[in-house]
Amino acid sequence: MTFIPPETRIAIVTGGARGIGAAIATRLAQDGHDIAVIDLDRDACDATLAAVCATGRRGFAVAANVADEAAVETAVTAVVDALGPPTVLVNNAGILRDRTLAKMSTDDWDSVLSVNLRSAFLMCRAVQPHMRACRWGRIVNLSSIAALGAVGEANYSAAKAGVQGLTRTLAIELGRYGITANAVAPGFVVTDMTRAVAERMGMTMDAMVDEMLKTIHVERPGQPEDIAHAVSYFADPRSSFVTGQVLYVAGAPRG
């Protein structure tokens, strides 16, 4: 018999202060999870916590650099003390340091690999003992269509492709404990991050949207809620026979 967790489930969302992470935290709260948000800036999480609490669920936020091993262990311990053992983990934290290969510094490379890939490994390693103890868990890692290759994003593409390999391996290793591991790979989504990219490129956001729509067959840009809905599916108890998968949420065929 498949173990179904108790009514109160605990989910951790990294990078949950804004954008896609905030939408994921809110959606999982609506699904019946208590939410722990881990982000660099604790105060920046207030809006997300308010949205979580508005659903009637408990919310907790802790500041941590999820690329730092000691900080991750401390943050997960704080979550357990505040809410209980986490059984859902969403690795959403990420940064961009876009440069073409000739202009990319070692720091550009290391920073992006650390925040986008190393952090997912550290968080999964820290949380999996709690999932194994429950004999139930859901890991959802955020990849990207950039995993397929993108000009000026050798670091980001490598990290997001690495996330897919990590996810598939975790699915193999952890499945026997009732833990699934899947990845969501967003396409173009309107967020503060993509607005910052447009600004760096000297474009208006409207101009960037128009350019991206040339390859988006549903003829609209993605919204954070689109990604949150996909994460919700993978986090659901009813998705127990789905693991090691990468779902491209991009408004067009990908992968």
Active-site annotation, residues: 156
- The residue whose two tokens read 């760096």 is 200
φ, ψ dihedrals at 162, nearest 5°:
-60, -35
SS (H, E, C) 99-157: ECHHHCCHHHHHHHHHHHHHHHHHHHHHHHHHHHHHCCEEEEEECCHHHHCCCCEHHHH
- The residue whose two tokens read 């951790």 is 12
The residue type of 161 is A
Residue 90 bridge partners (DSSP): 13, 140
> Exposed, middle or buried, 9 (CB in 10 Å: 0-12/13-18/19+)?
buried
Rounded distance between C-alpha atoms, residue 11 and residue 14, angstroms: 10
